[in-house]
Amino acid sequence: MNLNLISGSIVSGMVLLTIGMMNRGVNYNSQDITLSSIKQEQKIELSEVLSHDLPKIGYTSDNSLDTLIAYADEKSIAYYSNIDNSADGSVELVTWELTNEADVSTDNPNDYKLVRTVGGTTTNISLGITTFTLNYYDKLGGTTPLTTPLSSADMDNVKQIEVVLVLESAESIQYSQNTGEKFVKSAWVKRFTPRNLKGNG
């Protein structure tokens, strides 16, 4: 064997190894970026629905509601609102609840179904939701949330509602056999100040 053949083989092997590693890296990053993009889009869509619903707590055209919030705890809220702004002024009971029912449509063992109900019409939201936490504050800009579930007295004092939302990918990704699997996450935290809760407290 001559020197050229030996060194050529070694270098070729190194090049092949480099290309193999690069290929694995590119594949992993590609999956990571695709799943992250999907999760961010889903998060934005869900945040738009929440941003439509929650600021309308207690909304009626004639401001006639005595009870604005019917029930509130860490994982669910029920409130009254003429949410569709119907001309007859009818008020709907709106609920958001993170159920204990696992989302079996994904491979992720940590996600649950989120349920939105408006006037008895239920919508199941299966977007890989692992966290849907509601915090309630009786002071604007307050830092200490109220204890949940809220007592009826506390429900009359709520001024702000904070939503913590975390979505995870349906499938996991793994860089190599030696590294653990991971689910891609996307999170959103928003503190709502519904106008009709302004007079609370």
Q: Could you list the residues that contact other proteins (CB under 8 A)?
A: 2-4, 7-8, 11-12, 14-15, 18-19, 22, 25-26, 29-30, 32-33, 36-37, 40, 43-44, 47, 55, 139-143, 159-160, 164, 166, 186-193, 195, 198
Cβ of 180: how many Cβ atoms within 10 Å? 7
Nearest distance, CB of residue 188 and other proteins, angstroms: 6
d(CA 161, CA 152): 16
Nearest distance, CB of residue 25 and other proteins, angstroms: 7
Q: Which is nearer to other proteins, 97 or 138 (CB)?
A: 138
Nearest distance, CB of residue 47 and other proteins, angstroms: 8
Enter the tokens of residue 160.
Answer: 């702000």
Nearest distance, CB of residue 104 and other proteins, angstroms: 26
Query: Is the four-CA dihedral 178, 181, 184, 189 of positive or negative sign?
Result: negative
Q: Which is nearer to other proteins, 6 or 101 (CB)?
A: 6
Nearest distance, CB of residue 157 and other proteins, angstroms: 13
Enter the tokens of residue 142.
Answer: 């307050």
d(CA 114, CA 27): 32
Closest by CA position to 25, among listed 194, 179, 184: 179
Q: Which contiguous run of DSSP H or E holds residue 6?
A: helix 3-53
Read off the amino acid at residue 87. Answer: A
Q: Which is nearer to other proteins, 7 or 67 (CB)?
A: 7
Q: Which is nearer to other proteins, 44 or 102 (CB)?
A: 44
Contact indicator for 71, 80 with CB cutoff of 8 Å: no
Q: Which is nearer to other proteins, 102 or 140 (CB)?
A: 140
d(CA 129, CA 170): 10
Q: Which is nearer to other proteins, 15 or 102 (CB)?
A: 15
Nearest distance, CB of residue 45 and other proteins, angstroms: 12
